[in-house]
Amino acid sequence: MQIYSLIAAIVLYIVCAALPSRRGGLISGMTLAAWLLHGLGLWFEIAGAGELRFGFAAMLSSALWVSVAAYWVENRNFSLDGLRRLVMPSAALAAALQVAFPGNLVPLEGKSPLFGWHIAVATMAYSTLTLAAFHAVLMALQESRLHARSDKKSFLSGALDQLPALLTMEKLLFRMISFGFTLLSLTVLSGIVFSEQLFGQALKWDHKSVFTLLSWVLFAALLAGRRFRGWRGKTALSFTLAGFATLALAYVGSRFVLEVVLHKGWA
């Protein structure tokens, strides 16, 4: 069932990306339907009786699932039609990767009930900050196009021209970063305080822990700089992308190497 749900979501995402902007009502309805099917596929693919199936593709798929939800909600407040043409194909690709790379089974026997919540919050944190990084890249491209003053039209330039003003985009960016940082803080705190209960062992200072903490520090510095020094523009974009890159190395990067390159299970 989960495979069919994901395939149906992929088809709907592609159709949503191709529809003309004037079909706003249809686009909104199809986006919601695709998102629900994608979420259903994620749930049945990941959650099982006494076990979880997880991997790099599931994390990417979850990240784009959150991205679609954020687009659908924010598009009701701002005109984000240009974002649709970029988010929908990306979500379709992420769902397809999940079908191709289902990940590894993680037994829950002997683990604390908190383990599932820890994984869920960590995934939501990663997903939200992935969306923030995607948003930051769009802002950089948008600013570059404004400075270039080029009249050349392409799929990307047309999408960028339909985005809200940079100040509005920046407001949305920091809203996402603040929410993602809160979730990341909960992930780090639960990992440190409840490591013994969650994983059955004391906290290990491996690459995953180090990169996660480094990412937390970078996002904390960004929010503090924004609050007390008024950081914005290129400084904010640089910190956002640096924080996301370290977080990606901690989660998706390590899982990709283990699953696809080394063909190993959960570690």
Please state the domain extents for the chain: 2-261
Tell me, what DSSP letter sits at residue 164?
A: P
- Please list the pLDDT of the chain residue by residue as tens digits (267 residues): 668 899 999 999 999 988 888 887 899 999 999 999 999 988 887 765 556 676 777 878 888 898 898 888 888 777 777 778 888 999 999 999 888 877 666 666 666 666 767 777 888 888 888 888 888 888 888 888 777 666 666 666 767 777 778 888 888 889 989 999 999 999 888 777 666 555 555 566 667 778 888 999 999 999 999 989 888 888 888 899 998 888 887 766 555 544 444 455 544
The CA distances from residue 39 to 6, 8, 69, 73, 134, in Å, are 8, 12, 10, 16, 20
Q: What are residue 48's DSSP bridge partners?
A: 51
pTM of the prediction? 0.73
What is the b/e burial string over 219-236, where b = at least 16 CB atoms within 10 angstroms of the residue's CB? beebbeebeeeebeeeeb
